[in-house]
Protein backbone atom coordinates (compact mmCIF):
# COMPACT_ATOMS: atom_id res chain seq x y z
CA UNK A 1 0.00 0.00 0.00
CA UNK A 2 1.32 3.44 -0.90
CA UNK A 3 0.96 6.02 1.86
CA UNK A 4 1.86 9.65 2.24
CA UNK A 5 3.20 11.25 5.41
CA UNK A 6 1.25 14.04 7.08
CA UNK A 7 2.15 16.17 10.07
CA UNK A 8 1.74 14.26 13.36
CA UNK A 9 -1.04 16.52 14.64
CA UNK A 10 -4.06 15.12 16.50
CA UNK A 11 -5.91 13.24 13.84
CA UNK A 12 -8.16 10.34 12.98
CA UNK A 13 -8.10 7.63 15.63
CA UNK A 14 -10.74 4.90 15.72
CA UNK A 15 -12.55 5.27 19.05
CA UNK A 16 -15.62 3.81 20.75
CA UNK A 17 -18.21 6.33 21.91
CA UNK A 18 -19.35 6.55 25.52
CA UNK A 19 -21.35 9.03 27.54
CA UNK A 20 -19.85 9.27 31.00
CA UNK A 21 -22.33 9.71 33.87
CA UNK A 22 -21.23 11.41 37.10
CA UNK A 23 -22.76 13.41 39.95
CA UNK A 24 -22.01 17.09 40.38
CA UNK A 25 -21.17 18.46 43.82
CA UNK A 26 -24.82 19.49 44.37
CA UNK A 27 -25.99 15.92 43.70
CA UNK A 28 -27.41 16.56 40.23
CA UNK A 29 -26.33 14.18 37.52
CA UNK A 30 -24.05 15.10 34.63
CA UNK A 31 -23.40 13.40 31.31
CA UNK A 32 -20.64 14.04 28.77
CA UNK A 33 -19.40 12.22 25.67
CA UNK A 34 -15.93 10.74 26.00
CA UNK A 35 -14.33 8.72 23.21
CA UNK A 36 -10.80 8.42 24.53
CA UNK A 37 -11.76 5.08 26.00
CA UNK A 38 -9.89 1.81 26.04
CA UNK A 39 -9.34 -1.19 28.32
CA UNK A 40 -6.45 -2.86 30.08
CA UNK A 41 -5.84 -5.79 32.43
CA UNK A 42 -5.98 -5.49 36.19
CA UNK A 43 -4.67 -8.94 37.11
CA UNK A 44 -6.43 -12.22 37.93
CA UNK A 45 -9.02 -12.07 35.18
CA UNK A 46 -10.11 -8.55 36.05
CA UNK A 47 -9.89 -5.62 33.73
CA UNK A 48 -10.10 -1.87 33.79
CA UNK A 49 -11.61 0.76 31.59
CA UNK A 50 -9.11 3.45 30.65
CA UNK A 51 -10.61 6.86 29.96
CA UNK A 52 -8.84 10.08 29.21
CA UNK A 53 -10.06 13.65 29.60
CA UNK A 54 -8.46 16.95 28.82
CA UNK A 55 -9.03 20.40 30.30
CA UNK A 56 -11.18 20.98 33.36
CA UNK A 57 -14.63 19.81 32.38
CA UNK A 58 -17.29 18.95 34.96
CA UNK A 59 -17.03 15.25 34.29
CA UNK A 60 -13.32 15.27 34.98
CA UNK A 61 -13.73 17.21 38.23
CA UNK A 62 -16.55 14.87 39.30
CA UNK A 63 -14.48 11.77 38.53
CA UNK A 64 -11.48 13.15 40.44
CA UNK A 65 -13.71 13.96 43.43
CA UNK A 66 -16.03 10.91 43.57
CA UNK A 67 -13.70 8.36 41.93
CA UNK A 68 -16.62 6.61 40.21
CA UNK A 69 -18.74 6.97 37.07
CA UNK A 70 -20.86 5.11 34.54
CA UNK A 71 -19.68 4.64 30.96
CA UNK A 72 -22.76 4.37 28.73
CA UNK A 73 -22.00 2.96 25.31
CA UNK A 74 -23.53 5.13 22.61
CA UNK A 75 -25.48 3.44 19.81
CA UNK A 76 -26.59 5.20 16.65
CA UNK A 77 -30.01 6.12 18.04
CA UNK A 78 -28.25 7.95 20.91
CA UNK A 79 -26.39 10.32 18.59
CA UNK A 80 -28.69 13.26 19.39
CA UNK A 81 -27.81 12.76 23.09
CA UNK A 82 -24.13 12.50 22.27
CA UNK A 83 -24.18 15.73 20.33
CA UNK A 84 -26.30 17.46 22.95
CA UNK A 85 -24.09 16.54 25.91
CA UNK A 86 -21.02 17.40 23.87
CA UNK A 87 -21.96 21.04 23.94
CA UNK A 88 -24.37 21.46 26.87
CA UNK A 89 -24.26 20.67 30.54
CA UNK A 90 -27.12 18.50 31.64
CA UNK A 91 -28.37 20.99 34.22
CA UNK A 92 -28.71 23.82 31.71
CA UNK A 93 -32.28 24.66 30.76
CA UNK A 94 -32.64 24.02 27.08
CA UNK A 95 -35.72 23.29 25.01
CA UNK A 96 -33.57 21.41 22.50
CA UNK A 97 -32.66 18.74 25.06
CA UNK A 98 -33.50 15.34 23.59
CA UNK A 99 -35.70 13.05 25.68
CA UNK A 100 -33.89 10.41 27.68
CA UNK A 101 -34.33 8.30 30.78
CA UNK A 102 -31.98 8.22 33.69
CA UNK A 103 -31.28 5.47 36.21
CA UNK A 104 -28.77 4.56 38.89
CA UNK A 105 -26.05 1.90 38.74
CA UNK A 106 -26.81 -1.52 40.16
CA UNK A 107 -23.56 -1.79 42.11
CA UNK A 108 -22.24 1.77 42.28
CA UNK A 109 -24.16 4.95 42.97
CA UNK A 110 -23.62 6.47 39.52
CA UNK A 111 -26.15 7.97 37.07
CA UNK A 112 -26.87 5.84 34.00
CA UNK A 113 -28.68 6.42 30.72
CA UNK A 114 -31.70 4.17 30.02
CA UNK A 115 -31.07 4.41 26.27
CA UNK A 116 -27.64 2.75 26.41
CA UNK A 117 -27.45 -0.96 25.55
CA UNK A 118 -24.18 -1.47 27.46
CA UNK A 119 -23.14 0.28 30.66
CA UNK A 120 -19.99 -0.05 32.74
CA UNK A 121 -20.01 0.97 36.38
CA UNK A 122 -16.46 1.95 37.27
CA UNK A 123 -14.32 3.13 40.13
CA UNK A 124 -11.04 4.98 39.72
CA UNK A 125 -7.88 3.22 40.86
CA UNK A 126 -5.24 5.48 39.40
CA UNK A 127 -4.86 8.71 37.43
CA UNK A 128 -1.93 9.70 35.24
CA UNK A 129 -1.40 13.30 34.16
CA UNK A 130 0.08 14.09 30.72
CA UNK A 131 -0.02 17.76 29.84
CA UNK A 132 -3.60 18.96 30.24
CA UNK A 133 -5.00 15.45 29.97
CA UNK A 134 -5.71 13.01 32.77
CA UNK A 135 -5.98 9.31 32.10
CA UNK A 136 -7.98 7.29 34.60
CA UNK A 137 -7.49 3.56 35.18
CA UNK A 138 -10.83 2.28 36.33
CA UNK A 139 -11.71 -1.20 37.66
CA UNK A 140 -15.09 -2.28 36.30
CA UNK A 141 -17.47 -3.11 39.15
CA UNK A 142 -20.47 -4.02 37.04
CA UNK A 143 -21.51 -4.43 33.43
CA UNK A 144 -25.14 -3.88 32.46
CA UNK A 145 -26.10 -5.22 29.06
CA UNK A 146 -29.33 -4.96 27.10
CA UNK A 147 -31.29 -8.06 28.14
CA UNK A 148 -32.38 -8.60 24.55
CA UNK A 149 -28.79 -9.17 23.45
CA UNK A 150 -28.37 -12.83 22.62
CA UNK A 151 -24.82 -13.96 23.37
CA UNK A 152 -23.03 -16.80 25.12
CA UNK A 153 -20.79 -14.49 27.14
CA UNK A 154 -19.66 -10.88 27.22
CA UNK A 155 -17.19 -11.52 24.39
CA UNK A 156 -19.75 -13.12 22.12
CA UNK A 157 -21.50 -9.88 21.25
CA UNK A 158 -22.60 -9.10 17.72
CA UNK A 159 -21.63 -5.45 17.41
CA UNK A 160 -23.92 -5.03 14.43
CA UNK A 161 -26.82 -5.64 16.84
CA UNK A 162 -25.31 -3.42 19.53
CA UNK A 163 -24.86 -0.81 16.80
CA UNK A 164 -22.15 1.29 18.52
CA UNK A 165 -21.09 4.68 17.27
CA UNK A 166 -17.45 4.76 16.26
CA UNK A 167 -15.82 8.16 16.45
CA UNK A 168 -12.75 9.13 14.46
CA UNK A 169 -13.29 12.82 14.04
CA UNK A 170 -16.53 11.75 12.30
CA UNK A 171 -19.27 9.47 13.62
CA UNK A 172 -19.54 6.06 12.07
CA UNK A 173 -21.65 2.96 12.50
CA UNK A 174 -20.67 -0.61 11.73
CA UNK A 175 -21.70 -2.10 8.42
CA UNK A 176 -21.58 -5.78 9.11
CA UNK A 177 -20.08 -8.43 11.35
CA UNK A 178 -17.09 -10.13 9.73
CA UNK A 179 -16.10 -12.79 12.30
CA UNK A 180 -14.10 -13.35 15.45
CA UNK A 181 -10.38 -13.29 16.30
CA UNK A 182 -8.61 -15.99 14.35
CA UNK A 183 -11.07 -16.08 11.46
CA UNK A 184 -8.66 -13.96 9.45
CA UNK A 185 -5.49 -15.67 10.55
CA UNK A 186 -3.12 -16.51 7.71
CA UNK A 187 -2.94 -20.30 7.45
CA UNK A 188 0.51 -21.91 7.28
CA UNK A 189 1.35 -24.07 4.27
CA UNK A 190 1.02 -27.28 6.31
CA UNK A 191 -2.28 -26.24 7.86
CA UNK A 192 -3.99 -25.66 4.57
CA UNK A 193 -5.73 -28.88 3.54
CA UNK A 194 -5.68 -30.01 -0.05
CA UNK A 195 -3.51 -27.08 -0.90
CA UNK A 196 -2.25 -28.65 -4.09
CA UNK A 197 -5.75 -29.26 -5.32
CA UNK A 198 -6.78 -25.73 -4.42
CA UNK A 199 -3.81 -24.23 -6.20
CA UNK A 200 -4.23 -26.31 -9.36
CA UNK A 201 -7.92 -25.39 -9.49
CA UNK A 202 -6.99 -21.76 -9.06
CA UNK A 203 -4.31 -21.92 -11.76
CA UNK A 204 -6.66 -23.73 -14.12
CA UNK A 205 -9.29 -21.03 -13.66
CA UNK A 206 -6.74 -18.29 -14.23
CA UNK A 207 -5.44 -20.02 -17.36
CA UNK A 208 -8.97 -20.47 -18.78
CA UNK A 209 -9.84 -16.91 -18.00
CA UNK A 210 -6.76 -15.41 -19.61
CA UNK A 211 -7.03 -17.84 -22.53
CA UNK A 212 -10.60 -16.78 -23.26
CA UNK A 213 -9.66 -13.14 -22.74
CA UNK A 214 -6.77 -13.43 -25.23
CA UNK A 215 -8.99 -15.21 -27.76
CA UNK A 216 -11.64 -12.53 -27.34
CA UNK A 217 -9.12 -9.77 -27.87
CA UNK A 218 -7.73 -11.51 -30.96
CA UNK A 219 -11.20 -11.92 -32.43
CA UNK A 220 -12.00 -8.28 -31.61
CA UNK A 221 -8.93 -7.18 -33.56
CA UNK A 222 -9.72 -9.41 -36.49
CA UNK A 223 -13.34 -8.28 -36.33
CA UNK A 224 -12.18 -4.67 -36.19
CA UNK A 225 -10.33 -5.11 -39.49
CA UNK A 226 -13.17 -7.02 -41.07
CA UNK A 227 -15.98 -5.08 -39.50
CA UNK A 228 -17.54 -3.90 -42.71
CA UNK A 229 -17.60 -7.34 -44.29
CA UNK A 230 -18.36 -9.39 -41.15
CA UNK A 231 -19.46 -7.55 -37.98
CA UNK A 232 -20.35 -10.90 -36.36
CA UNK A 233 -16.64 -11.56 -35.70
CA UNK A 234 -16.29 -8.26 -33.83
CA UNK A 235 -19.41 -8.99 -31.78
CA UNK A 236 -18.13 -12.49 -30.94
CA UNK A 237 -14.76 -11.05 -29.88
CA UNK A 238 -16.29 -8.41 -27.63
CA UNK A 239 -18.65 -11.01 -26.16
CA UNK A 240 -15.70 -13.26 -25.35
CA UNK A 241 -13.81 -10.43 -23.65
CA UNK A 242 -16.80 -9.63 -21.46
CA UNK A 243 -17.49 -13.32 -20.93
CA UNK A 244 -13.98 -13.98 -19.66
CA UNK A 245 -14.13 -10.96 -17.34
CA UNK A 246 -17.42 -12.24 -15.90
CA UNK A 247 -15.97 -15.73 -15.66
CA UNK A 248 -12.98 -14.36 -13.77
CA UNK A 249 -15.23 -12.45 -11.46
CA UNK A 250 -17.55 -15.30 -10.61
CA UNK A 251 -15.29 -18.33 -10.74
CA UNK A 252 -11.68 -17.43 -11.52
CA UNK A 253 -10.91 -16.39 -7.95
CA UNK A 254 -12.94 -18.94 -6.08
CA UNK A 255 -10.02 -19.87 -3.82
CA UNK A 256 -7.44 -17.56 -2.34
CA UNK A 257 -4.01 -18.69 -3.61
CA UNK A 258 -2.42 -17.63 -0.33
CA UNK A 259 -4.57 -19.19 2.37
CA UNK A 260 -6.82 -21.50 0.38
CA UNK A 261 -10.06 -20.06 1.76
CA UNK A 262 -13.09 -19.74 -0.48
CA UNK A 263 -13.33 -16.18 -1.67
CA UNK A 264 -16.09 -16.51 -4.24
CA UNK A 265 -17.72 -13.35 -5.52
CA UNK A 266 -14.54 -11.34 -5.07
CA UNK A 267 -13.21 -9.59 -8.11
CA UNK A 268 -9.90 -8.58 -9.59
CA UNK A 269 -7.41 -6.67 -7.52
CA UNK A 270 -9.29 -7.38 -4.31
CA UNK A 271 -7.86 -8.64 -1.06
CA UNK A 272 -8.76 -11.97 0.50
CA UNK A 273 -11.07 -11.30 3.41
CA UNK A 274 -9.51 -14.23 5.32
CA UNK A 275 -5.77 -13.59 5.12
CA UNK A 276 -5.58 -10.12 3.62
CA UNK A 277 -3.49 -11.32 0.68
CA UNK A 278 -3.96 -9.75 -2.73
CA UNK A 279 -5.79 -12.15 -5.02
CA UNK A 280 -4.11 -11.12 -8.25
C1 LIG B 1 -17.78 13.09 19.93
C2 LIG B 1 -17.15 13.73 21.14
C3 LIG B 1 -16.10 13.09 21.77
C4 LIG B 1 -15.48 13.66 22.87
N5 LIG B 1 -14.44 13.00 23.48
C6 LIG B 1 -13.82 13.56 24.53
C7 LIG B 1 -12.75 12.87 25.18
O8 LIG B 1 -12.42 11.74 24.85
N9 LIG B 1 -12.14 13.48 26.21
C10 LIG B 1 -12.51 14.72 26.64
O11 LIG B 1 -11.90 15.26 27.56
N12 LIG B 1 -13.55 15.39 26.06
C13 LIG B 1 -14.21 14.83 25.03
N14 LIG B 1 -15.26 15.49 24.43
C15 LIG B 1 -15.65 16.80 24.93
C16 LIG B 1 -16.63 16.74 26.09
O17 LIG B 1 -17.66 15.83 25.89
C18 LIG B 1 -17.23 18.13 26.27
O19 LIG B 1 -16.18 18.99 26.68
C20 LIG B 1 -18.37 18.18 27.25
O21 LIG B 1 -19.13 19.35 27.02
C22 LIG B 1 -17.92 18.18 28.69
O23 LIG B 1 -19.08 18.32 29.50
P24 LIG B 1 -18.97 18.50 31.07
O25 LIG B 1 -18.21 19.81 31.34
O26 LIG B 1 -20.39 18.54 31.52
O27 LIG B 1 -18.22 17.36 31.62
C28 LIG B 1 -15.91 14.91 23.36
C29 LIG B 1 -17.00 15.54 22.75
C30 LIG B 1 -17.62 14.94 21.65
C31 LIG B 1 -18.79 15.63 20.99
Question: Which of 63-77, 178-192, 214-228 ranks highest by mean pLDDT?
Answer: 63-77
Which of 146, 172, 198 represents a domain boundary (last residue)? 172
Q: How far apart are CA 224 and CA 232, in angstroms?
A: 10
Question: Among 117, 145, 172, where does a domain finish?
Answer: 172
153 with 216, same domain: the answer is: no
Going by pLDDT thresholds of 50, 70 and 90, the confidence category of residue 266 is: very low
Count Cβ atoms below 10 Å from residue 2 Cβ, excluding itself: 3
Is the residue at 132 inside a domain?
yes
Report which of 155, 98, 123 is spatially closest to residue 42, judged by C-alpha positions: 123
What is the C-alpha to C-alpha distance for residues 161 and 196, in angstroms, rounded to an integer? Answer: 40
The domain total for the chain is 2
Distance (Å) of CA 59 to CA 55, 86, 98, 209:
10, 11, 20, 62
Q: Per the domain annotation, does 159 fall within a domain?
A: yes
Q: What is the pLDDT of residues 40-64, one digit of tens each?
A: 998 888 899 999 999 999 999 999 9
Tell me 255's DSSP state: B
Say yes or no: 155 and 238 in one domain: no
Mean pLDDT of 207-212: 77
Q: Return the CATH number at 80.
A: 2.30.110.10
User: Which among 32, 38, 49, 91 is the best mutation to test ligand 1's pocket, defined by most ligand atoms within 8 Å of the CB?
Assistant: 32
10 in any annotated domain: no
Residue, of 152 and 73, whose pLDDT is higher: 73
| pLDDT value at residue 240 | 75
Ligand 1 site, CB within 6 A: 30, 32-36, 52-54, 57-59, 86-87, 89, 167
The residue segments making up the domain with residue 192 are 183-280
Residue 14 CA, distance from chain mean position: 8
pLDDT-based confidence at residue 155 (cuts at 50, 70, 90): confident
Q: What is the pLDDT of residue 218?
A: 80
Determine, yes or no, domain membership for 131: yes
Task: Answer for the pair 61, 22: CB distance below 8 angstroms, yes or no.
Answer: no
Amino acid sequence: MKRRSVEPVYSMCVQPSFIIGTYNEDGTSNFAPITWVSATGAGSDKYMLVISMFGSKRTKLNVIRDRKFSANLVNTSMLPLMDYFGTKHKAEDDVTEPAYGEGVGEVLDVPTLDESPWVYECEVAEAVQTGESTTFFCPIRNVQMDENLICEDTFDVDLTVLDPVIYSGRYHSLGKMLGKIGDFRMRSYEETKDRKEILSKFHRNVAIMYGVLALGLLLSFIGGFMVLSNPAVLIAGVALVFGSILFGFFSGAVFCPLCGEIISRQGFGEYCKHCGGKIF
